[in-house]
Each structure stands twice: as structure tokens, then as C-alpha cells.
């Protein structure tokens, strides 16, 4: 649907045609149903499948992948949290350090 291209620069730059997939019209026999194909849903499916390839996973999206905030954001990637001083105020030094190194706990292979 060409209207999806107007959502953002990112969507407009896609080479692939943006076409609606067929609507889900029948029950599915699956292990995990994920609602929404934004970062949260797509990464959840990706890591679940890597950890347990035998799982049958379906992602159900009302519009198209990236229709929500994931396809409209500013593209900033930061290793910290906004307002982290307040969020981490009660944390121990060890917990504070862990909040900065959490990304290394999920190495990409
Ligand atoms: C203007 C803006 C700028 C931003 N800039 C940045 C940035 O620079 N850097 C950064 O790290 N973060 C940024 N963010 C935040 C980041 O984009 C969001 O935190 C992230 O995209 C959220 O991803 P999500 O998958 O949880 O939600 P979404 O991307 O919103 O995905 C939810 C999906 O679920 C679908 N859905 C909803 N209800 C249903 C339903 N009932 N059935 C089926 N599907 C459904 C929606 O269509 C959507 O595709 C920004 C956000 C906005 C709004």
C-alpha cells in the first residue's frame, strides 16, 4: 500500500514493494503468537527462534511491519537511558555497571 511509504523516510526508502499480506482468516496451530511487528515483536520472534528453532511462531500485524513507532523514529541509537540518574538512584554500583553492560549479555552471533 503506497500510503505506508508516507509514514517516514525509512519506509519511503525501502526497495521492496509495500504490499498488504493476506488477512488471517483461520485458526493457526502455533506455539507462540506475537502481536505487532515492531522492534519488540520482531526481536522477540528472532531470539525465540534462535533459542528454540523448533518453535512455531506467528507474528500478527494489523498494518505492516514498522507501522508503529519502529518505522517512524529518529534513528538514534544510545547506550544509556533518558533520566537514568533518577532511574538508577537506588541502585548499587554493581547494578549501575550492569545497566551499561547489559548489551554484552546478548551477543549477536
Ligand atoms: C517520533 C518518535 C521518535 C523516536 N525516536 C527514537 C530514536 O531515535 N531512538 C530510539 O531508540 N527510539 C526512538 N523512539 C522509540 C522507539 O521507536 C519505540 O520505543 C519502539 O519503536 C517501540 O517498538 P514496539 O515494537 O514496542 O512498538 P511499535 O513499533 O509501535 O509496534 C507495535 C506494532 O503493533 C501493531 N499493533 C498494535 N495493535 C495491534 C493489534 N491489535 N493487532 C495486531 N497488530 C497490532 C502496530 O501496528 C505496530 O506495528 C521514537 C519513537 C517515536 C514515536
The pLDDT of residue 107 is 46
Taking the whole predicted model, whether its pTM rises above 0.85 is answered as: no
Express as a percent the part of the chain with pLDDT over 90: 60
Cα 25 to Cα 21, 28, 30, 32, 97, distances in angstroms: 12, 9, 15, 18, 48
Between 7 and 96, name the one with better pLDDT: 7
Q: Which of 38, 64, 103 to mutate to test the pocket of ligand 1 (most atoms within 8 A of CB)?
A: 38
Instruction: Supply angle C-alpha 15, 21, 23, rounded to 5.
Output: 165
Ligand 1 surroundings by CB, under 6 angstroms? 35-41, 60-63, 67-70, 72-76
Cβ-Cβ contacts under 8 Å for 44 (sequence gap 6 or more): 34
Q: Which residue from 40, 73, 75, 82 has its CB within 8 A of the most atoms of ligand 1, so it is best to mutate? A: 73
User: Quick one: average pLDDT of 10-29?
Assistant: 91
Amino acid at each position: 500500500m503506497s500510503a505506508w511509504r508516507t509514514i517516514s523516510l525509512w519506509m519511503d526508502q525501502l526497495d521492496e514493494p509495500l504490499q498488504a499480506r493476506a488477512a488471517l482468516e483461520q485458526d493457526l496451530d502455533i506455539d507462540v503468537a506475537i502481536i505487532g511487528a515492531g522492534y519488540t515483536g520482531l526481536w522477540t520472534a528472532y531470539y525465540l527462534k534462535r533459542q528454540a528453532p523448533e518453535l512455531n511462531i506467528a507474528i500478527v500485524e494489523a498494518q505492516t511491519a514498522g507501522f508503529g513507532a519502529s518505522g517512524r523514529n529518529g534513528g538514534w541509537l544510545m547506550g544509556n537511558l533518558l533520566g537514568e540518574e533518577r532511574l538508577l538512584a537506588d541502585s548499587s554500583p554493581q547494578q549501575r555497571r550492569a545497566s551499561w553492560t547489559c548489551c554484552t549479555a546478548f551477543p549477536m552471533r
